[in-house]
Structure 1
Amino acid sequence: MGETITFWVLAVVSVSAALGLVFSRKAVYSALMLGVVMLSLAVLYAVQDAPFLAAVQIIVYTGAVMMLFLFVLMLVGVDSADSLVETIKGQRFWAAVAGLGFAALLALGVGNTVFAPAVGVGGATQQAGGNVPALAQLIFTRHVFAFEVTSALLITAALGAMVLAHRERVRPKATQRDLSRARFTGPQPSPLPGPGTYALHNAIDMPALLPDGSVSPKSINRVLARHEEDGVRPTDPAKAALVKQVIDNDVAAEEDVVAEDAAHQEEAK
């Protein structure tokens, strides 16, 4: 009875997570939904008297492969929009063929499960001498090609992430001494005033007020100022103009850094 209840509860959870994996618009959410599916499979393995498969599912797939997916997403970036331009000729056709083939395999698997008599994990592994020998025999004999292709795919994904995230250093890395010297020779050696200081609101999105009542431009949070470009601006015209000035200064500074990096790359060539 407990096994049946566990199966139906996890069936709903895993199928819902699988649908979220397919239809989610953000890659991070899809990766998290994949983790839910993997954990549900691990519990199902444990219920079916397959503790080794449950441990492998959690340690290898959920703990290693899942983390690899998340690291790839963090290195490549999740803010970049996917291009809908077909760069490889015929990729949509072959993707449709692969989808139809996968659907046929899924239909065969469901049909085999429905119409074939149930054997159980114990009966299936009894001839091989246990769960671990039966799993090893299938991996290294019948499914060895698929196993090697999967491992090569994971290695390729890791190498691709490193190649895409690699950036050539065009200037020497600043040491602690260089950073301290640049700070004390700059216009602001002391820490910047925190947002909300001498203000009516103790919030990070409110700029600080100086003793004379004017707004301090050094207290404006750059991240929030960038988000305020989308129409969410302070109601005070003076504060709105100050936020716009800070954004323009940051954009000009970024353009100067990009131009300087380009000049260093040209000198290196």
Structure 2
Amino acid sequence: MSATMAALAGPVAASLGSTGQTPTGEAVLFWVLAPVMVVSALGLLFARKTVHAAMSVVLVMISLAILYIAQDAPFLGVVQVIVYTGAVMMLFLFVLMLVGVDSSDSFVETITGQRWIGLLLGTGLAVVLVGVVLNAAGLQPTGLESANEGGNPGRIAQVIFGDYLFAMEVVGTLLVTAAVGAIVMTHRPRLTPLVGQRERADARVARLEQGEILTPLPAPGVYATSNALDVAALGPDGLPLEASVPRVLRIRGQERPVGDVSAPTATADQAEITASSDEEEQA
């Protein structure tokens, strides 16, 4: 898709650089995408559901990528789709799905007067944008061919990692610091003490008198001439280990006795139980 748009946008940008006038194709593309971007931006502000607001941002970013490619900046358009739309915004969506944002969240302003401050800053930004548009009405594009000499990605790499290497390193450091700060700020204190492996082992040993088994139980069906999950395994003494059957099957009453799959084993088990009962009575 990006290759097709780049192939279509190349002649458009070349015409813009040679004549200084926006060609018809680019004008049509702009007037088609501009309302979509404005509606999506308004959806970001007025959407009641956070996921809908995030999807509005995705639509704005994709439209920006198309306009970048139309302006003979294919590398910037591809980065806009791959990095911002495909990685950053998808990360936002995953965070929203994991954390969950619903109508129960508090909308009380924690900073007094932040709406008025936001309105004032937004008005100032609108004035600046209007001034830029008015001043750029009679400008002629120059230096586009020299800026893209050797290929657009190569020239961008030379500028970023050559002329502005220190600035890029500073921005990278700030991003890493912001990520670490976000992790620290989202950390929640434990409501209960941390239980480690040693504490868990000591607790299991303390429950030996209550019938706790330290060693892992055989899988269901072991030594019972069956590998079915609903048949109890047999212990070293030949008796069924009921706990080896999954708890869900035992609650549903779907556990089968050993006699259903091995009659001799069931007979031996019954004899063992009878002998144990006689010894206990004699004792």
TM-score normalised by structure 1 residue count: 0.52
* Aligned residue type for 1:126: S
Q: Residues 21, 97 of structure 1: CA spacing in aligned structure 2 closer, same or farther, 3 A cutoff?
A: same
1:101 to 124, 139, 147: 124
2:53 to 23, 30, 42: 30
Partner Cα distance (2:189, 2:252) in 1: 30
Correspondences of 1:170-185 after superposition (within 5 Å): 183-184=247-248
Q: Residues 12, 151 of structure 1: CA spacing in aligned structure 2 closer, same or farther, 3 A cutoff?
A: farther
Q: Residues 109, 94 of structure 1: CA spacing in aligned structure 2 closer, same or farther, 3 A cutoff?
A: same
* Aligned residue type for 2:252: Q
Q: Percent identity?
A: 43
Is residue 2:25 matched to residue 1:7?
no
CA contact (8 A) 2:61 2:81 kept: yes
Cα deviations by residue, 1:152-198 (Å, 9 ceiling, x for unpaired): 4697478637864868587799xxx89976624863355xxxxxxxx
Cα deviations by residue, 1:132-165 (Å, 9 ceiling, x for unpaired): 43586479878x8799669846974786378648
Structure 2: segments with no counterpart, 5+ residues: 1-23, 198-215, 218-242, 255-283
CA contact (8 A) 1:28 1:70 kept: yes
- In the alignment, which residue of structure 1 is the partner of 2:141? 119
- In the alignment, which residue of structure 2 is the partner of 1:70? 93
Q: What is the root-mean-square deviation of aligned Cα atoms in Å?
A: 4.4
TM-score normalised by structure 2 residue count: 0.49
2:78 to 47, 52, 55: 55
CA contact (8 A) 2:49 2:102 kept: no
The Cα of 1:63 is off from its aligned counterpart by 0.9
Q: Please give the secondary structure, in 2, of the residue aligned with 1:187.
A: helix
Is residue 2:252 matched to residue 1:188?
yes
The Cα of 1:35 is off from its aligned counterpart by 0.6
- In the alignment, which residue of structure 2 is the partner of 1:19? 42
Partner Cα distance (1:172, 1:181) in 2: 28
CA contact (8 A) 1:139 1:147 kept: no
Partner Cα distance (1:4, 1:180) in 2: 72
2:152 to 113, 131, 135: 131
Correspondences of 1:222-233 after superposition (within 5 Å): none
- In the alignment, which residue of structure 1 is the partner of 2:213? none
